A and B are shown apart, each in its own frame.
Chain A
Amino acid sequence: MLTAILTGFLFSLLLVFAGKYLKGKLAILSALVPLGLFIYFLQFVETIANGEIISQNVEWVPSFGVNLGFTLDGLSLIFCLMITGIGFLVFAYTAAYLKGHEYLDRFYGYLGIFMGAMLGIVLSDNIISLFVFWELTSLSSFFLIGFNNKEESSRKSAILALVITGFGGLFLLSGALILGSVAGTFTISEMLISKDLISESPHYIIIVAMIFVAAFTKSAQFPFHFWLPGAMKAPTPVSTYLHSATMVKAGIYLLMRFTPVLGSTEFWNSTLIIVGTVTMLYAAIHTLFRTDLKGVLAYSTISALGILVFLIGLGTEEALLAACVFILVHALYKATLFLVTGIIDHETGSRDITLLSGLRKVLFPVAIAGFLAAISNAGIPPSFGFLGKDLIYEATLHFGNSAIFLTALAIITNILLLYAGFLAGIKPFSGKLPENFSKVHMPSFLMWIPPLILAVLGILIGIFPSIIQESLIQPAVTSLGENGGDVLLKLWHGFNTILALSATTIGIGIMLYFLIKPTKKVEIAIEKLEFISPKTITEKFGDAFHYFSSLWTNLFQNGYLRHYVSTIILFLVAVMGYTLLKNTRYRLDYSSFTALTIYEVITVAIMIAGILYTVFTKSRLAAVAALGIVGLTISLIFVYYSAPDLAMTQFSIDTLTVILFVLVLYKLPKYLNLSDYKTRIKDGILSIAFGALISILALEVLAEPQSSEISEFYAENAYLLAKGKNVVNVILVDFRGIDTFMEIAVLTIAAIGVFALLKLRMTAKERITTENKK
Chain B
Amino acid sequence: MEFILAILIGIFYAAGLYMMLRRSLVKLIIGLILLGNGANLLIFLLGRITKGLPPIISGESPVFLGAYADPIPQALILTAIVISFGLQSFAIVLVKRAYTVVKTDDLDQMNSTDQFS
**A688: nearest chain-B partner, CB-CB:** B14
On whether the beta carbons of A668 and B97 are closer than 8 Å, the reply is no
On whether the beta carbons of B81 and A711 are closer than 8 Å, the reply is no
On whether the beta carbons of B106 and A674 are closer than 8 Å, the reply is yes
**A600: nearest chain-B partner, CB-CB:** B1
Known: A646-B77, A653-B85. Contact between A569 and B51, CB under 8 A?
no
On whether the beta carbons of A728 and B74 are closer than 8 Å, the reply is yes
On whether the beta carbons of B6 and A698 are closer than 8 Å, the reply is yes
**A553: nearest chain-B partner, CB-CB:** B116
Task: Give the residues in chain B near A691, CB-CB below 8 Å.
Answer: 10-15, 17
**B20: nearest chain-A partner, CB-CB:** A565
Highest count of chain A CB atoms <10 Å: which of B12, B83, B87: B12
How many A residues are at the interface, by size bracket? Answer: 35 or more
B55 touches which of A608, A611, A642 (Cβ 8 Å): A642
On whether the beta carbons of A664 and B13 are closer than 8 Å, the reply is no
On whether the beta carbons of A646 and B78 are closer than 8 Å, the reply is yes
Known: A718-B57, A754-B90. Contact between A611 and B15, CB under 8 A?
yes
Known: A638-B44, A641-B44, A694-B38. Contact between A754 and B93, CB under 8 A?
yes
Is A650's CB within 8 Å of the partner chain B?
Answer: yes
Task: Give the residues in chain A near B10, CB-CB below 8 Å.
Answer: 691-695, 698
**B6: nearest chain-A partner, CB-CB:** A698
Interface string of A719-756 (1 = CB under 8 A from B): 11000011110011000100110010011001101100
Known: A664-B93, A716-B63, A770-B101. Contact between A747 and B83, CB under 8 A?
yes
**B71: nearest chain-A partner, CB-CB:** A727
Q: Which of A547-591 contact B (CB under 8 A)?
A: 550, 553-554, 557-562, 565-566, 569, 588, 590
Task: Give the residues in chain A near B2, CB-CB below 8 Å.
Answer: 592-594, 699, 702
Known: A672-B24, A706-B48, A728-B71. Contact between A746 and B83, CB under 8 A?
yes
Tell me, rounded to whole Å, the shortest Cβ–Cβ distance linking B66 to chain A.
11
What CA separation (Å) do A698 and B10 show in the bound complex? 9
Known: A560-B107, A674-B106, A732-B78. Contact between A595 and B1, CB under 8 A?
yes
Tell me, rounded to whole Å, the shortest Cβ–Cβ distance linking A771 to chain B.
10
What CA separation (Å) do A702 and B42 show in the bound complex? 11
Task: Give the residues in chain B near A675, CB-CB below 8 Å.
Answer: 22-23
On whether the beta carbons of B79 and A596 are closer than 8 Å, the reply is no
Task: Give the residues in chain A near B42, CB-CB below 8 Å.
Answer: 694, 698
On whether the beta carbons of A714 and B41 are closer than 8 Å, the reply is no
Highest count of chain B CB atoms <10 Å: which of A560, A620, A720, A766: A560
What CA separation (Å) do A698 and B48 show in the bound complex? 11
Is A364's CB within 8 Å of the partner chain B?
Answer: no
On whether the beta carbons of B85 and A657 are closer than 8 Å, the reply is yes
What CA separation (Å) do A588 and B71 show in the bound complex? 26
On whether the beta carbons of B106 and A710 are closer than 8 Å, the reply is no
On whether the beta carbons of A743 and B82 are closer than 8 Å, the reply is yes
On whether the beta carbons of B17 and A690 are closer than 8 Å, the reply is yes
On whether the beta carbons of A562 and B107 are closer than 8 Å, the reply is yes
Tell me, rounded to whole Å, the shortest Cβ–Cβ distance linking B19 to chain A.
6
B79 touches which of A559, A612, A732 (Cβ 8 Å): A732
B13 touches which of A596, A690, A774 (Cβ 8 Å): A690
Task: Give the residues in chain A near B117, CB-CB below 8 Å.
Answer: 550
Tell me, rounded to whole Å, the shortest Cβ–Cβ distance linking B96 to chain A.
5
On whether the beta carbons of A653 and B70 are closer than 8 Å, the reply is no
Interface string of B74-102 (1 = CB under 8 A from A): 11011101110111111011111101111
What CA separation (Å) do A234 and B107 show in the bound complex? 48
What CA separation (Å) do A634 and B80 show in the bound complex? 14
What CA separation (Å) do A772 and B85 show in the bound complex? 36
Q: Which of B30-60 contact A (CB under 8 A)?
A: 30, 33-34, 37-38, 40-42, 44-46, 48-58
On whether the beta carbons of A750 and B18 are closer than 8 Å, the reply is no
On whether the beta carbons of A711 and B115 are closer than 8 Å, the reply is no
Task: Give the residues in chain A near B87, CB-CB below 8 Å.
Answer: 750
A604 touches which of B4, B79, B88 (Cβ 8 Å): B4
The B interface is mostly helix, strand or loop, or mixed, namely: helix
Task: Give the residues in chain B near A642, CB-CB below 8 Å.
Answer: 49-55, 68-69
Task: Give the residues in chain A near B38, CB-CB below 8 Å.
Answer: 694
Tell me, rounded to whole Å, the shortest Cβ–Cβ distance linking A655 to chain B.
11
On whether the beta carbons of B1 and A731 are closer than 8 Å, the reply is no
What CA separation (Å) do A162 and B61 show in the bound complex? 83
Task: Give the residues in chain A near B26, CB-CB below 8 Å.
Answer: 620, 668-669, 671
Known: A558-B115, A760-B97. Contact between A669 and B71, CB under 8 A?
no
Q: Which of A695-714 contact B (CB under 8 A)?
A: 695, 698-699, 701-702, 706, 708, 710-711, 714
**B115: nearest chain-A partner, CB-CB:** A559
Known: A719-B63, A760-B97. Contact between A627 and B74, CB under 8 A?
no
What CA separation (Å) do A647 and B2 show in the bound complex? 19
**Interface-side segment among A221-229, A340-348, A402-410, A679-687:** A679-687
Is A758's CB within 8 Å of the partner chain B?
Answer: yes
Is A645's CB within 8 Å of the partner chain B?
Answer: yes
On whether the beta carbons of B56 and A727 are closer than 8 Å, the reply is yes
On whether the beta carbons of B1 and A596 are closer than 8 Å, the reply is yes
On whether the beta carbons of B14 and A750 are closer than 8 Å, the reply is no
Is A380's CB within 8 Å of the partner chain B?
Answer: no
Is A459's CB within 8 Å of the partner chain B?
Answer: no
Task: Give the residues in chain B near A694, CB-CB below 8 Å.
Answer: 9-10, 13, 38, 42
On whether the beta carbons of A560 and B41 are closer than 8 Å, the reply is no
Tell me, rounded to whole Å, the shortest Cβ–Cβ distance linking B4 to chain A.
6
What CA separation (Å) do A664 and B107 show in the bound complex? 19
What CA separation (Å) do A674 and B19 show in the bound complex? 12
On whether the beta carbons of A569 and B17 are closer than 8 Å, the reply is yes
A731 touches which of B63, B75, B113 (Cβ 8 Å): B75
Tell me, rounded to whole Å, the shortest Cβ–Cβ distance linking B73 to chain A.
8
Tell me, rounded to whole Å, the shortest Cβ–Cβ distance linking A619 to chain B.
11
B9 touches which of A664, A695, A726 (Cβ 8 Å): A695
Task: Give the residues in chain A near B7, CB-CB below 8 Å.
Answer: 695
On whether the beta carbons of A774 and B1 are closer than 8 Å, the reply is no
Is A649's CB within 8 Å of the partner chain B?
Answer: yes
What CA separation (Å) do A660 and B104 show in the bound complex? 21
Is A667's CB within 8 Å of the partner chain B?
Answer: yes
Task: Give the residues in chain A near B106, CB-CB below 8 Å.
Answer: 674
What CA separation (Å) do A667 and B40 show in the bound complex? 30
Tell me, rounded to whole Å, the shortest Cβ–Cβ distance linking B81 to chain A.
5
Is A623's CB within 8 Å of the partner chain B?
Answer: yes
On whether the beta carbons of A719 and B17 are closer than 8 Å, the reply is no
Tell me, rounded to whole Å, the shortest Cβ–Cβ distance linking B49 to chain A.
4
**B53: nearest chain-A partner, CB-CB:** A642
Q: Which of A616-655 contact B (CB under 8 A)?
A: 620, 623-624, 627, 630-631, 634, 637-638, 640-646, 649-650, 653
Is A426's CB within 8 Å of the partner chain B?
Answer: no
What CA separation (Å) do A117 and B77 show in the bound complex? 66
What CA separation (Å) do A314 and B104 show in the bound complex? 74
- Known contacts A560-B108, A687-B15, then 8 further A-B pairs from the complex at CB < 8 Å, ordered by chain A residue: A601-B4, A608-B11, A646-B81, A657-B85, A657-B89, A668-B26, A702-B46, A732-B75
User: Closest 7 CB pairs between A and B?
Assistant: A691-B14, A695-B10, A559-B114, A669-B105, A750-B86, A642-B69, A691-B10
Subset of 29 A-B contacts with CB under 8 Å: A554-B115, A569-B17, A594-B51, A601-B4, A611-B34, A612-B15, A627-B33, A627-B34, A642-B68, A650-B81, A657-B33, A660-B89, A671-B24, A674-B22, A675-B22, A687-B17, A687-B21, A691-B10, A691-B11, A699-B2, A702-B2, A711-B71, A715-B64, A720-B62, A726-B57, A746-B83, A751-B89, A757-B93, A757-B94
